[in-house]
Structure 1
Amino acid sequence: MRLLYALLLSGVILFVGLSVALPDATLVAGGLTIAAAAVGLVLVNRTQRIIAMLLIGLGIASVLIGVALGGTVNGRDLLSVNQDLIGMLTAVSFLRLITPSEPTTRTRLHGRLAVLRTALATHALGAIINIGAVGIVGDHLRGRTALRLPDAALLSRSFSAAAFWSPFWAAAAAATTLVPGANSLVLLLVGLGLALAAIGLSVWDIFRLWGRDLPAYTGYSLSWALVRVPLALVALVIIAHQLFSAVPVPRIVLIAGLGVTLLGLLIVNGRGAVRSLARHAKHDLPQLRGEVTLFASAGVLAVGLRMLFPLFELQLPVSEFTVPVAWAMMLAMILLALVGVHPVVSVAVVAALMHPLGPDPTLFVLAACIGWGVSTAVGPITGLTMLLSSRYSIDSVALTRRNLVYLAVVLVASWPALLLCAASV
């Protein structure tokens, strides 16, 4: 079953990549995504299975209600089930093969500078290899003892802020799939500025948490070997998007991630490069079954909502997608996360609600990415919080409460960021 699942995910990657040149290949990728979701329901744990089945059930029910109310069914729309997002997510996982797992330089910094360096290292890794960065840095910080709450808070904030700008995150892929056409350069510059400001402001709370132990803190080292792959990939994606603006960013990320990985493996491993890729596809891709099943299930829900909502005359209290509306949308995503709703679900819901307003894609995607990132840090049952809880025995409620400081910082700092975004498009 795991081998079949690995083959299905490899097929999704292949056909999403091919859709850059052959647009109809995305339909094959959509069919493979649905098949992967079906197999994933068998492989995931009971809680994930219940959530996925609920999302799929709501999506199918929405389609059936839409048909009963006179809506039309489009086969292409039915196969638009987040395959670009899933293809990108699984392809980016290959970058772990060329990303160093341990610091390559000896630390000389202590105290506040070491805290800041650890935050930047986590952010740089998290921007590319996603949640794997938390395990890499967390294992190093834990050493032979337990990971402490200040480090857990630092990891969650530094990692989640990457969602504000990184094209390698599911946040950007999901939002641009729902509302295509965003300016990736504006998203990167404004989102990265907000991320650095949020990290810089919130580390003062981490300083206070460490108290008397702060001067002895050494943290995780930041080196050129650690940041060269993220920098190269971001530059490659931005240049490719400017040259081929019609190609969706998730597909560019997919091709760039695989291309850089293959090149890196050929340089380091030569003839063993293909073998390393095959081993990762067979053994590591199935480890993503929880995320893939959730995203595919949310894709089915999004299909239903896109069909159902236009059949009702929902009277929103606003007639234009402005900065205050974008900020309120972001806040709604965060509040939903606090009660256990995953951002991949909330972004599908707010996209369907905002569709009648004809939102500017860049402003919508930035607000969605900020909402997704903060939700990841403060949601008590997000993948990040559950990882820190299960792997390092961190109290998820205590971590959520601690990260409310980070939430307040981002809520304040995001307003001028959204204003700047609106003025840039």
Structure 2
Amino acid sequence: MDSIKKCTGWFVLGTLIFYLLSVTQSISVLLPTLLAWAANIAMWHTLAPSAKRQVSWLMGIGIATLLFAGSKGIWMSWQQVFAVNVPMLAMFVAVSFLDLTSSTDKNRPLPKGLSAIFNTTLSVQVLGAVINLSVIMVFADRMKAAIKLTPVQQLILTRSFAAAAWWSPFFVATGVALIYAPGLQWQKTLVPGLAMAFIAVIFTTAEAYYRTKGDFHGFPIRRESLFIPLFLALAVILFHFIWQDISILVLICILAPSATILLMRTDSRRKSLAHFVNHKLPQIGSQFALFLAAGIFSNGISAIILSYPEYFNLDNFTFSALLFSVVLACMILAGVIGIHPVVSIAIASPMLLPLNPDTTQLGFLFLSAWAISAGSSGLTGLGLLMTSRYHIPTRTIVANSAHYALFMWLLCSLVNGVFL
């Protein structure tokens, strides 16, 4: 058992490396799939009880529905069931490397006032868009050094971080959208996504200033801290323009680790990378478990839909602005009650794809559902982090952002109806 634990980080890293090799068709996707599941088994003991329950339910329902559909003559391929989310996991491993580029200055005082609110709100989104969840802990741990993390600090961190889902190619939400909205061209959702994310920053900044009257302790951000995230985002856009045949997801899998190794500041790259693989990568078990389980679950739903086409026949419907708005509202409410966005997306996708929706609209729907629900719920991963680590009650998180979720839902519906 100890030997398996020691190999966990290498299973995780192998998922990324062999996925990239499978893209070149030099090996089968079976190998990265086996490594992903091996990593999941090795990391299972690290999951919180609530995460184990959620994953077990997803897998149990998924397996039961697959077997039931099989009895009706509908069988899904092993790639659909076990490997559908492997590309997304490879991307998650790749962006995890960017944690090696983050740094903090513990000696600088916490800034105050309107500029501190705006700079913190914008910075957590820009940094979080690339470095992901570790940024929340860096910001929150530093900001609560002077006082306990306040509800206003919490809403700034969660909303701003989650809003990066609208536009960041490094966000897991983008990987989900690319998989569950087949044919989606990420650059087409970039402009409306950036607009939504910026409005989220302005809305949150104004509300935080109104609630605190400027008595707010922000994060002492340095301009150079923004260099790597902006550099990588521009690099992805540039390389995708040059090599359009290479998907955004594959580009991120290549660029994120490569840029990290080149730009990381350390006395010994070898020691830092070894510590990262052996100690940091084994900590992402919840993501592996959730996304692998969601793959089984979503294919179970798809199999049931294929088994009973007469009950799921949506030929009389079109993917209209009204349907977009209704589905988005349902997905946001699902997030508020604790259903992870990837699960609601996995349910919605097989229901909506037969309508032949515009992939830009469908992708925007999924990104919006992720951005709003993750930033408003106390029961998804981001909210649970705030509750467990910083002792912000779940009801406070939901109450803090109920009006925000309503406003952004209406705005997304408007953007979709008018511009998309």
Q: Per-residue deviation at 1:208? A: 2.2
Q: Per-residue deviation at 1:197? A: 0.8
What is the one-letter code of the residue matched to 2:208?
I
Matched residues, number:
415
Q: Per-residue deviation at 1:137? A: 0.9
2:31 to 28, 31, 35: 28
Q: Per-residue deviation at 1:421? A: 5.3
What is the one-letter code of the residue matched to 2:30?
L
Give the structure 1 partner of residue 299 of structure 2: 303
2:51 to 44, 48, 54: 48
Q: Per-residue deviation at 1:78? A: 3.1
Equivalent residues of 1:326, 1:367 under 8 A apart: yes
Q: Per-residue deviation at 1:88? A: 0.9
Taking a change above 3 Å as real, the CA distance of residues 121 and 105 of structure 1, as seen in their structure-2 partners, is farther
Equivalent residues of 1:103, 1:222 under 8 A apart: no
Give the structure 2 partner of residue 178 of structure 1: 180
1:8 aligned onto 2:11: yes
1:375 aligned onto 2:393: no
1:93 aligned onto 2:96: yes
Q: How does 1:226-305 map to 2 (within 5 A)?
A: 226-265=225-264, 268-269=265-266, 272-305=268-301
Taking a change above 3 Å as real, the CA distance of residues 112 and 269 of structure 1, as seen in their structure-2 partners, is closer
Distance 1:411 1:343 in 2: 15
Give the structure 1 partner of residue 84 of structure 2: 81
Local SS of the residue matching 2:284: helix
Distance 1:53 1:106 in 2: 45
Taking a change above 3 Å as real, the CA distance of residues 223 and 417 of structure 1, as seen in their structure-2 partners, is farther
Give the structure 1 partner of residue 199 of structure 2: 197
Distance 1:310 1:102 in 2: 55
Equivalent residues of 2:59, 2:293 under 8 A apart: yes
Taking a change above 3 Å as real, the CA distance of residues 319 and 132 of structure 1, as seen in their structure-2 partners, is same
Give the structure 2 partner of residue 220 of structure 1: 219
Give the structure 1 partner of residue 75 of structure 2: 72
Equivalent residues of 1:82, 1:299 under 8 A apart: yes
Q: Per-residue deviation at 1:324? A: 2.8
Distance 1:299 1:229 in 2: 32
Taking a change above 3 Å as real, the CA distance of residues 303 and 315 of structure 1, as seen in their structure-2 partners, is closer
1:335 to 310, 333, 338: 333
Local SS of the residue matching 1:284: helix
Equivalent residues of 1:48, 1:290 under 8 A apart: yes
What is the one-letter code of the residue matched to 1:228?
F
| Cα deviations by residue, 1:279-325 (Å, 9 ceiling, x for unpaired) | 10110011111122111111121232233322222133853223332
Distance 2:239 2:231 in 1: 12
1:102 aligned onto 2:105: yes
Distance 1:303 1:37 in 2: 19
Distance 1:305 1:242 in 2: 36
Equivalent residues of 1:82, 1:296 under 8 A apart: yes
Task: Flag structure 1 segments of 5+ consecutive residues without an equivalent.
Answer: none
Q: How does 1:312-331 map to 2 (within 5 A)?
A: 312-313=308-309, 314-316=312-314, 319-331=317-329
Give the structure 2 partner of residue 39 of structure 1: 42
What is the one-letter code of the residue matched to 1:384?
L
Taking a change above 3 Å as real, the CA distance of residues 142 and 320 of structure 1, as seen in their structure-2 partners, is same
Q: Per-residue deviation at 1:106? A: 7.4
Distance 1:23 1:66 in 2: 33
Q: Per-residue deviation at 1:261? A: 0.5
Give the structure 1 partner of residue 117 of structure 2: 115
Task: Flag structure 2 segments of 5+ consecutive residues without an equivalent.
Answer: none
Q: Per-residue deviation at 1:136? A: 1.0
Equivalent residues of 1:190, 1:420 under 8 A apart: no
Distance 1:9 1:353 in 2: 32
Q: Per-residue deviation at 1:168? A: 1.2
Equivalent residues of 1:71, 1:307 under 8 A apart: yes
Equivalent residues of 2:159, 2:376 under 8 A apart: no
1:167 to 151, 166, 169: 169
Taking a change above 3 Å as real, the CA distance of residues 248 and 67 of structure 1, as seen in their structure-2 partners, is farther
Equivalent residues of 1:56, 1:301 under 8 A apart: yes
Distance 1:245 1:183 in 2: 10
Q: Per-residue deviation at 1:104? A: 9.7
Taking a change above 3 Å as real, the CA distance of residues 113 and 390 of structure 1, as seen in their structure-2 partners, is same
Local SS of the residue matching 1:182: coil
Local SS of the residue matching 1:191: helix
Give the structure 2 partner of residue 357 of structure 1: 355
Give the structure 2 partner of residue 416 of structure 1: 414
Equivalent residues of 1:103, 1:223 under 8 A apart: no
